[in-house]
Each structure stands twice: as C-alpha cells, then as structure tokens.
Amino acid sequence: MKSTEIRRKFLDFFKDKEHHIASSASLVPIDPTMLLTGAGMVQFKPIFLGKTKVDYTRAASCQKCVRTTDIDVIGQTGRHLSFFEMLGNFSFGDYYKREATEWAWRVLTEEFRIEKDRLWVTIFETDDEAGDLWRDKVGVSSDRIVKLGEADNFWSAGPTGPCGPCSEILFDQGEEFSCGKPSCAPGCDCDRYLEIWNLVFMQYNRDSDGELHPLPNKSIDTGMG
Ligand SMILES: [Zn+2]
C-alpha cells in the first residue's frame, strides 16, 4: 500500500464518521511554548483548552511534523524520525475512549488489513477502563493488552499543556527485529514492537508548576506514524 493510499483511507474513514478534515498546519506554530509543530494536535491546542470555539467537535488531519526531543537517537533506531507526517483523529469533548479504540482497530485491521495477530495494545497501568474496552468491546485478547507506566503511557506535548493517559497500538515486526533479550516484550526499547498509533485520552491541563487540572471536556487526540 502506498503512502497516498494510507492518507486517503485514513481521512476518508474519519470523514465518514463526521470529522472535519483539516489541512496540515504550518511547521511554525502560533504557540509560544513550542518552536516547531511536533504533533497533529498542535493546531487544535486552543480548542482542547477551551480558548477557541469552532463549529465542529471532531477533526482528522495528516500533519507534517518536526521532532527534536529525541534527536539523539535518530539514526540509531529504526523508528525515530526528525520529519514525518502524523495521521490523527481528534474529539473535542465529543466521543471518548470507546469510539477511539474501536475506530483505531477498524482502520488498522479493515482499512489497512493488518493481521490482528501481529498487533498488541498497551494501556496506562491504572486505566482499567481502557483495558476493559479493548478486551470486551474491541475483542483484543487479555494477553495482548499490556500495562505500562507513565514514561510510556501518559502523554503530553511538552512540560505544560493538555495531557492524559494513553493507549498505544504496537505492530510486532517479528523476531528478527528483537534485541534478543529474554525480557524482550511490548515496551522494550528495541525495534520489534513498533508503536504505530497512540490514542491519547486527554483529560488534564498541566500548568507551569506541574499541577494537573481537569480540562473543560474530556477529549481524544491520536497520532499514527
Ligand atoms: Zn527488545
């Protein structure tokens, strides 16, 4: 499948689910806390924070991104990039975890036809709600749902701003990509279990003192590589 088809299938899927399709925003954001656009959610940040009102509550985009936070590992792994395009769907106080998990699974397994038995799911260690949804509503078997801590499964765009627990979907590239350690499993630092999509359940705003405040509305922010 070509990258053009991947973009098209993704955006068509979410357009069909009544999402506003937004163009990729400038790499230089209108946000004094960021130097470069590093995620699809950046252009929607004022909406998540309740500072800007728009006439839609769902959006999807294919955003050009530049990332520098992990620049020291670029070139050393098969999965870190400085420039890339991020596919994402967003809910601004509209749908939440249930739709986000179900739709992500459908996009991967039905639109992109990725074999289910190569997919794994990670959740934040205390987020039983997400675990239950993956198991009971989406149908992922319990042994494919892995709980990880804050470093892996709590997302924020920077030291301040919207954030929340997240759930990642990983693609098992196969044993030949493994570091070979007996402990190699989802969450390992090697390339075997490749994170292809992160679903962020955005529910807090972190202030400059590091305190978490509930957002006006629980929202969804996703990013797929
Ligand atoms: Zn490994």
Q: What would the 3-class secondary structure string for 137-203 be?
A: HHCCCHHHEEEECHHHHEEECCCCEEEEEEEEEEEECCHHHCCCCCCCCCCCCCCCEEEEEEEEEEE
In this prediction, residue 8 has a pLDDT band, given cuts at 50, 70 and 90, of very high
Could you report the per-residue pLDDT of 181-192, keeping only the tens digit for each?
Answer: 999 999 998 999
pLDDT over 80 at 140, yes or no: yes
**25 pLDDT exceeds 90?**
yes
Q: How many domains does the chain have?
A: 1
Residue 192 C-alpha to ligand 1 middle, in angstroms? 6
At residue 157, the pLDDT reads: 67
DSSP state of 52: S
How many angstroms does the Cα of residue 61 sit away from the middle of ligand 1?
32
- At residue 118, the pLDDT reads 97
Tell whether the torsion through CA atoms of 104, 106, 111 and 114 is positive or negative: positive
Instruction: Tell me, in angstroms, the distance from the centre of ligand 1 to residue 191's CA.
Output: 7
Per-residue pLDDT of 45-72, as tens digits, reads: 999 888 899 999 999 999 999 998 889 9
Q: Ligand 1 centre from 184 Cα, in Å?
A: 4
CATH number at residue 75: 3.30.930.10
pLDDT score for 63: 98
Residue numbers of the domain that contains 143 = 3-224
Q: In which band, very low, low, confident or very high, does the pLDDT at 176 lie, cut at 50, 70 and 90?
A: very high
Dihedral sign (CA 184, 190, 191, 195): positive
Q: 139 C-alpha vs ligand 1 centroid, how far in Å? A: 26
Decide if pLDDT at 160 tops 90.
no
Q: Which residues surround ligand 1, an ion (CB under 5 A)?
A: 179, 184, 188, 190
pLDDT value for 34: 87
Mean pLDDT of 17-31: 96
Distance 63 CA to ligand 1 centre (A): 29
Instruction: Tell how far the Cα of 180 is from the centroid of ligand 1, in angstroms.
Output: 6
**pLDDT above 70 (res 165):** yes
Query: pLDDT of 94-122, one tens digit each?
Result: 999 999 999 999 999 999 999 999 999 99
pTM over 0.75: yes
Per-residue pLDDT, averaged over 116-145, amounts to 97
Dist. CA 65 → ligand 1 center (Å): 27
